[in-house]
Structure 1
C-alpha cells in the first residue's frame, strides 16, 4: 500500500470520528425552531390572513 493511500485512510478515519455530531444539540435546535415557528405563526397569522384576503379581493374585483 502506498504512503498516499495510508495517509488518506488515516485522514478519512479522523474525519469520521470527528464528525459524529451532537444529537441532543440538534434535537434541541429542532424543537426551538418549531417553537419559534408556532409563536410567530400565532402572532402574525391573523395579519397575514388579512393581507391575503385583501389581495384576493383586489384581484377578483377586476
Structure 2
C-alpha cells in the first residue's frame, strides 16, 4: 500500500511540474490568427460565394 501511494504521489508531482511552453502557445495562437486574417482578406468574397451556393443547393432556393 505504501509503494502505491508513493507512486501516485510522485506521478502527481510530475504532472504538476509540466506546465508546457507558454510562449510557444502564444506564438502559435498569434500566427494562426494572422493566417486567418490573411486568408479571409484574400479569399473572403470567394468563400462567401461558395457558402451561399452550397446553402442554396441544400435548401433548394437556387439553381
TM above 0.5, one fold?
yes
Shift of residue 50, structure 1, vs aligned partner: 2.8
Unaligned residue ranges in structure 1 (runs of 5+): none
- Paired residues in the alignment total 59
User: Deviation per CA, 1:19-41, whole angstroms, max 9, x where unpaired?
Assistant: 21111111100000000000111
Question: TM-score if structure 1 supplies the norm length?
Answer: 0.73
Question: TM-score if structure 2 supplies the norm length?
Answer: 0.72
Provide the aligned C-alpha RMSD in A.
Answer: 2.4
Structure 1 runs, 4 residues or longer, greater than 4 Å off = 53-56
Unaligned residue ranges in structure 2 (runs of 5+): none
